[in-house]
Amino acid sequence: MRFLDEYRDPAAVGRLITAIRAAVTRPWVLMEVCGGQTHSIVRHGIDELLPPEVTLVHGPGCPVCVTPLELIDRAVAVASRPDVIFCSFGDMLRVPGSGRDLFAVKAAGGDVRVVYSPLDCLRLAEQNPGKTVVFFAVGFETTAPANAMAVKQAKQRGLTNFAVLVSHVLVPPAMEAILSSAANRVQGFLAAGHVCTVMGTAEYGPLAERFRVPIVVTGFEPVDLLEGVLQCVEMLEAGRSGVENAYRRAVQAVGNPHARTVVEDVFEVTDRKWRGIGTIPRSGLRLRAEYAAFDAETRFAVAGLAAEESTLCLSGLVLQGLKKPHECPAFGRECTPQTPLGATMVSSEGACAAYYHYGRRKGVAG
């Protein structure tokens, strides 16, 4: 199938590496935005195949990582209620809150369930009229269309025992925050391909123009990632900024207008706090007033819960491309996937967890 296997072909990878070596004449720092890309890069050792001039730093695009600690605490509080069936994507269950995680709630008798699609929650709500089914609506632009449709459907079907705990974030405002920082060292971006399947590429034009950087829409397989690196390096070497698409089999410039219409119907843009980074203006989504009845934070009065982060953790600097995971003194010592101190060790997609799992404890492949 020409959608997966060929994109791991060693011969194709070799040709792209040769082309990148031929194109590069001086040092460049590129950031891959999405945690899925970080994971693929570290798993396949792509960063080690690149010429030494090209440094990849790892971006904030991991929804599990950037969900604030207090949101996890709110999820734990809601999930602990006897009148609630709490549903989530599996990735969120292992994320520790200030006290415990959702797995611990389940172990203590709470009704916590992993769902594949948010639509599964609607069936659960219909089958369990005596309980409220609460869905943990997290993620970037890739999960927003699914989560929005679940809320829209719940309203259409007149379901009153369904609610969502929303922690949606958006990619372009985070890229803007990184580029605006005085300490920024990112010179070009590999934009998250799957986010662009929904949003298209229009949001990136003004960013590329304002900050004079190349932004290359990039996929997730080794060949996709190296194509993205090659295009980005060629643009940097030629002194060109702008937006290019290296993932055309999946991304059209217009994105998916059907999906965007439903997202915009259900959600509106709001300020959001990012774990490890802080509040970024207009960087997330919340339910519109018409759908306020489905807001779990107000229904269960948990919006006031606050939490304190570890002072040892450097994940904010890692998420902004200012530090590599192994440069943190706590990495692999106080902070491991079993005892994560912060955002980037929490999820298997987080840069620190990826380095830990693939033996990059000292920044050298094992």
Cβ atoms of residues 319 and 94 within 8 Å? no
Min dist CB 73 to another protein, Å, is 20
Cα 352 from chain centre: 14
Minimum CB–partner distance for residue 194 and another protein (Å):
5
Per DSSP, the residues of 169-190 read E-HHHHHHHHHHSTT----EEE
Residue 165 backbone phi and psi in degrees, to 5: -100, 105
Q: Which is nearer to another protein, 38 or 187 (CB)?
A: 38
Cβ closer to another protein: 85 or 187?
85
Minimal distance, residue 148 CB to another protein, in Å: 10
From 10, 61, 28, select the one nearest 231 (Cα to Cα).
28
The minimum distance between CB 56 and another protein, in angstroms, equals 16
The three-point CA angle 306-308-309 to 5° equals 135
Task: Give the chain's length.
Answer: 366
Identity of the residue, 210 or 249, whose beta carbon is nearer to another protein in the bound complex: 249
Q: Which is nearer to another protein, 41 or 302 (CB)?
A: 41
Task: Decide whether 250 or 317 has the Cβ nearer to another protein.
Answer: 250
Pair of tokens at residue 60: 């904030």
Beta strands, E only, 7-129: 28-34, 54-61, 84-88, 111-114
Least distance from another protein to the Cβ atom of residue 35, Å: 6
